[in-house]
Amino acid sequence: MTSAFAHTPVLLSETIAALQPRSGGLYVDATLGGGGHAERVLELSSPNGVLLGVDADPAALKAARQRLAGFGDRLITVESYFDDLGAIAERTGFGKSDGILFDLGVSSPQLDTAERGFSFGTDAPLDMRMGPSADTSAAEVVNQWSQKQLERVFSDYGEERFARRIARAIVEQRRAGPIATTGQLSALIARARPRSREGIHPATRVFQALRIAVNGELDRLQRALPQAVEVLQSGGRLVVISFHSLEDRIVKRFMRDEARGCVCPPEVPVCVCGRTPRLRIISPRPIVATPDEVERNPRARSAKLRVAERL
Ligand SMILES: C[S@@+](CC[C@H](N)C(=O)[O-])C[C@H]1O[C@@H](n2cnc3c(N)ncnc32)[C@H](O)[C@@H]1O
């Protein structure tokens, strides 16, 4: 791994056990990142398995291409948000795949690169866009969204108990001039809310919420999952690692609905929707990291992995 892009893949052995890579298989990594999971998939699908790696972040793609250069044309990379997966698979002529992985959220290098504006620990412009094609930055959200919208974002996406107080403090501060940097915002939050009892930085939840809002993370996930099912061939595995309860809920409900098929309300005696099951759930409960992994990699603490198989 290059030191410039040090990201430890989460739930690596569990992900590989779920994807079951094999020679000649076709795999999609919808969140290629630094290529940690992808590397293992490519190794285990030697000598001729192919992996299509998608990421919105050109820096991540560059690092992954470097790391995985030895696999030659067994790796195809595309810079895009993953809610374009269906079109990407078609455009690249990638056949129906044997496994698709989503490892959601941001990577450690994204968080650690101050100028990306994801981190409250440094002072940098409020950006937080995963890829350059996104048109909204955190600065726009913080300085232009209404107090009500901000409160909603902090409360829904950050589960921040003091969402209202923080939103009010932001709107008051804006009157004196725009809030331009992560340092300004994080200092304002620290003044607006009491210290966290969980021992986390007071700005943690608001920064997470802003990142989710800026990148439309939940909407993109919701749009991508049905496309992933379309791209899978029968027996192919859909594997999703999420780090946020709202993401996990979207994945859980999606898999449950696709395993059930019919979405007619219970009072309708005969199915009129005509939908049939497309997935079989492999992990009825989410798979979580072992205490040993959490100790080695604290990011794994909130990871939940769900697996389903295309019928
Ligand atoms: C947790 S990291 C993946 C790490 C990777 N599995 C590894 O082992 O190195 C998540 C990656 O997904 C990308 N990402 C997150 N949401 C995305 C989206 N909606 N579309 C495309 N890429 C996305 C981020 O840019 C980041 O590089």
pLDDT of res. 96 = 95
What is the CATH number assigned to the segment(s) 135-214? Answer: 1.10.150.170
Helix ranges (DSSP H) in 117-162: 138-144, 147-158
Q: What is the DSSP letter of 8?
A: P
Strand stretches in 104-250, DSSP E: 232-242
**What pLDDT digit, counting tens, does each position of 86-129 carry?**
999 999 999 899 999 999 998 888 888 888 888 888 889 999 99
Q: Which of 5, 15, 31 to mutate to test the pocket of ligand 1 (most atoms within 8 A of CB)?
A: 31
Q: Is 49 in the pocket of ligand 1 (CB under 6 A)?
A: no
pLDDT of res. 201 = 86
pLDDT of res. 131 = 87
pLDDT of res. 160 = 94
Q: Which of 13, 55, 80 to mutate to test the pocket of ligand 1 (most atoms within 8 A of CB)?
A: 55
Q: Are 304 and 11 spatial neighbours (Cβ–Cβ below 8 Å)?
A: no
DSSP string, 235-303: EEEEEEEE-SHHHHHHHHHHHHHHHH-----TT-SS--S-----EEES-SS-B---HHHHHH-GGGGG-
CATH 3.40.50.150 holds for 3-109+217-310: yes
Centre of ligand 1 from the C-alpha of residue 31, in Å: 4
Comparing CA positions, the residue from 267, 186, 283, 227 lying closest to residue 80 is: 227
Q: What string of pLDDT tens digits covers the 311 residues of the chain?
A: 344 567 899 999 999 999 999 999 999 999 999 999 999 999 999 999 999 999 999 999 999 999 999 999 999 999 999 999 999 999 999 989 999 999 999 888 888 888 888 888 888 999 999 988 788 999 999 999 999 999 999 999 999 999 999 999 999 999 999 999 999 999 999 999 988 777 788 999 999 999 999 999 999 999 999 999 999 999 999 999 999 999 999 999 999 999 998 988 889 999 998 989 999 999 999 999 999 999 999 889 999 999 999 99
> How many whole angstroms separate alpha carbon 132 and alpha carbon 58?
8
Helix ranges (DSSP H) in the chain: 12-19, 36-44, 58-67, 85-91, 108-112, 138-144, 147-158, 163-176, 182-192, 204-214, 217-231, 245-260, 291-296
Q: Is 207 in the pocket of ligand 1 (CB under 6 A)?
A: no
pLDDT of res. 35 = 96
User: Helix, strand, or coil here: 77?
Assistant: strand
Residue with structure tokens 């968080």? Answer: 111
Residue with structure tokens 């890829």? Answer: 131
pLDDT of res. 5 = 65
Q: Are 213 and 157 spatial neighbours (Cβ–Cβ below 8 Å)?
A: yes
Q: Which atom of ligand 1 is nearest to the CA of 39?
A: 8
pLDDT of res. 115 = 82
What is the pTM for the complete model shown? 0.93
pLDDT of res. 113 = 82
pLDDT of res. 17 = 98
Domain boundaries of the chain, sorted by first residue: 3-109+217-310, 135-214
Token pair recorded at residue 304: 């939940």
Closest residue by Cα to atom 13, ligand 1, is 31
> How many whole angstroms separate alpha carbon 117 and alpha carbon 129?
8
Q: Which of 107, 211, 240, 301 to mutate to test the pocket of ligand 1 (most atoms within 8 A of CB)?
A: 107
pLDDT of res. 3 = 45
| 23 to 13, 35, 42, 49: CA distances (angstroms) | 18, 19, 9, 5
Comparing CA positions, the residue from 67, 34, 72, 66 lying closest to residue 51 is: 72
> How many whole angstroms separate alpha carbon 25 and alpha carbon 267?
43
Residue with structure tokens 């920064």? Answer: 207
Q: Are 186 and 200 spatial neighbours (Cβ–Cβ below 8 Å)?
A: no
Q: Are 108 and 299 spatial neighbours (Cβ–Cβ below 8 Å)?
A: yes
pLDDT of res. 95 = 84
pLDDT of res. 31 = 98
pLDDT of res. 4 = 57
pLDDT of res. 266 = 87
pLDDT of res. 1 = 39
pLDDT of res. 62 = 95
Q: Are 167 and 157 spatial neighbours (Cβ–Cβ below 8 Å)?
A: no
Taken as a whole, the chain contains a residue count of 311
Q: Are 76 and 94 spatial neighbours (Cβ–Cβ below 8 Å)?
A: yes
